[in-house]
Amino acid sequence: MSSSQPIRALEFYSGIGGLHYALLKSRPEAEVLKAFDWDPTSCQVYQANHGPIIYRKDISALKAAELADLNANIWLMSPACQPYTVLNPDAKGAQDPRALSFLHIVGFVLPELAKSDAHPRCILVENVAGFETSSTRQDLRATLKAIGYDTLELLLTPLQYGIPNSRPRYYMLARRGGSHFPLENKVWRNIPDCKEDAQVVAIREYLDTDVDEASGVPEKVLKKWGRLFDIVKPSSARSCCFTRGYRHLVERSGSILQEAEELDTTQVFDEFVSAGDVTVLQPLRLRYFTPSELLRIFAFDEPHFVWPPTVSTKTKYRLIGNSINVRVVQALITYLLEGV
């Protein structure tokens, strides 16, 4: 969008507003007109940070006419990923009821708006890696093409932006009436013509200075599941993907931190196994990442981010784990808008 044209966005599946932050970091003058989510706590957190533009609503119930009146020129969308996640062996894709609202908005509402040329100039869709093999992705591409969009698909991770966290995510960018994306028909692993491969910063740059004991990993958890954890140190240049199940699930829900940098993790765990005594692990000082550390890793403007006082720590983890990496999406929005 040319810099003289106001950017007016709608945010669907807004959660705690990661896409909103990404848009503002890319284009500070942009305005999010309305955001939609049906989860009451997400809406409460969103409102605390972005004001009363959040509508608690089932997106399946949105009508073309109400969206046309808003006259937005960019839509930002991060629909539920459970239907598509490879972590769920029973994922049903488009057959999952949680996929319905996205099929409604893309398959019905957008084409309806296109009849009166009221569809947005640009669209960004975010989902889990794995979405690219779904029938929903094929339908999305076909629908967007049929109503005049040029599309580009990518799989990116924050590691490419120097952030020590793996979070591979699928993105689709769509625009109409602007310059064309490269013709090559593939899922891109970097933004075209943009070599972002930054030096990854160590985890220690993201850590709180003062962490209370509640973040420690309980001994009973370590005793039963300790060997399954992905463990990183302050000097590590990686961590694994943090999900909404962080602190509930052990495997594949995110890394824990070993504060004792100097100790050899494997050696201490071997001693624990042979001694059968969990206290052997104490010198490692194993703990969970705190919500504020995760917000920093997700590139949220952490010191200014507000949690309403009623939101529990457990809920904070759920909401952050559902969210997006702001830095990655910022780069995508910049690229998307440059071509319009």
Binding site for ligand SAM (CB under 6 A): 13-19, 36-39, 42, 58-60, 78, 80-81, 101, 322-324
Nearer to ligand SAM, 128 or 211 (CB): 128
Q: Pick from 54, 19, 22: which is nearest to 36 by CA?
A: 54
Which one is catalytic: 81, 122, 240, 241? 81
CB of 242 to ligand SAM, least distance (A): 13
Report how far residue 1's alpha carbon sits from residue 5's, in angstroms, rounded to the nearest whole number: 6
**Known active-site residue 81:** yes
Nearer to ligand SAM, 284 or 326 (CB): 326
- The C-alpha angle with vertex 298 and arms to 172 and 206, in degrees rounded to 5, equals 150
Nearer to ligand SAM, 19 or 232 (CB): 19
CB of 42 to ligand SAM, least distance (A): 4
CB-based contact 188:155 (threshold 8 Å): yes
Measured in Å, how far apart are the chain's first and last C-alpha atoms? 4
Single-letter residue type at 162: G
Report how far residue 96's alpha carbon sits from residue 143's, in angstroms, rounded to the nearest whole number: 20
Number of Cβ atoms within 10 Å of the Cβ of 313: 14
- The C-alpha angle with vertex 157 and arms to 236 and 333, in degrees rounded to 5, equals 130
CB of 192 to ligand SAM, least distance (A): 24
CB of 78 to ligand SAM, least distance (A): 4
CB of 320 to ligand SAM, least distance (A): 8
Beta bridge partners of 55: 36
Nearer to ligand SAM, 83 or 226 (CB): 83
Beta-carbon contacts of 7 under 8 Å, excluding residues fewer than 6 positions away, are: 1, 23, 27, 29, 30, 31, 73, 74, 337
Nearer to ligand SAM, 258 or 315 (CB): 315
Q: Cite the active site residues.
A: 81
